[in-house]
């Protein structure tokens, strides 16, 4: 006597498939970091409780890093980024006389980060030197966004 085997249809249980898919979607949404901006984070100074002074554009020191990685200081002729040492020589007398002058560093979007970092390093070294020698508070260093640069005409 031959026993008949019941033929079973192979099935994948799909009843919990939607639950698993939902949990995976939630997991990836919670663990994914979405960054809207790219660049280097720069800590802003805390707002002074005193009244802010209106400073004219001419009263600020304007450093522009161009697309070809050269820079201009206060609209003067471009200098090679390798010559950032002269930047310190140019800025020291101006800031030692009036350390409240804000320093605006505009970086062309086509320029390398290396160029911006070189300029920022020189400015921060100068800030440390002035704090040590003259016991002044921190300098005001501003790196405007593209929208701010367009609004204020820094390009």
| pLDDT tier at 21, thresholds 50, 70, 90 | very high
**Arithmetic mean of pLDDT over the chain:** 80
pLDDT over 90 (residue 72): no
| pLDDT tier at 100, thresholds 50, 70, 90 | confident
- In a 10 Å sphere around its CB, with 0-12 CB exposed, 13-18 middle and 19+ buried, how is residue 60 labelled? middle
Q: Taking the domains of the chain in order of start, what are their residue ranges?
A: 57-152
pTM (2 d.p.): 0.60
Give the residue-averaged pLDDT of 129-137: 87
Query: How many CA atoms, within 13 angstroms, populate the side-chain half-sphere of residue 40?
Result: 10
Give the residue-averaged pLDDT of 119-141: 88
Higher pLDDT, 123 or 75: 123
R_g (Cα) of the chain, nearest Å: 29
The helix or strand, by DSSP H or E, that contains position 106, with its residue range, turns out to be strand 103-107
The pLDDT value given to residue 78: 58
Convert the pLDDT of each residue in 107-128 to its tens digit: 888 988 888 888 899 889 988 9
Tokens, residue 27: 């997991």
């Amino acid at each position: 006597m031959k026993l008949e085997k019941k033929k079973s249809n192979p099935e994948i249980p799909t009843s919990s498939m939607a639950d698993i898919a939902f949990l995976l979607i939630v997991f990836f949404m919670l663990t994914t970091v979405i960054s809207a901006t790219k660049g280097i984070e720069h800590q802003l100074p805390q707002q002074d409780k005193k009244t802010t002074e209106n400073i004219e554009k001419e009263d600020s020191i304007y450093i522009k890093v161009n697309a070809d990685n050269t820079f201009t200081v206060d609209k003067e002729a471009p200098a090679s980024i390798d010559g950032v040492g002269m930047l310190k020589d140019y800025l020291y007398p101006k800031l030692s006389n009036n350390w409240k002058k804000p320093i605006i560093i505009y970086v062309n979007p086509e320029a390398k980060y290396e160029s911006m970092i070189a300029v920022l390093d020189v400015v921060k070294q100068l800030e440390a030197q002035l704090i040590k020698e003259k016991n002044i508070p921190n300098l005001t260093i501003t790196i405007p966004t593209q929208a701010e640069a367009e609004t204020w005409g820094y390009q």
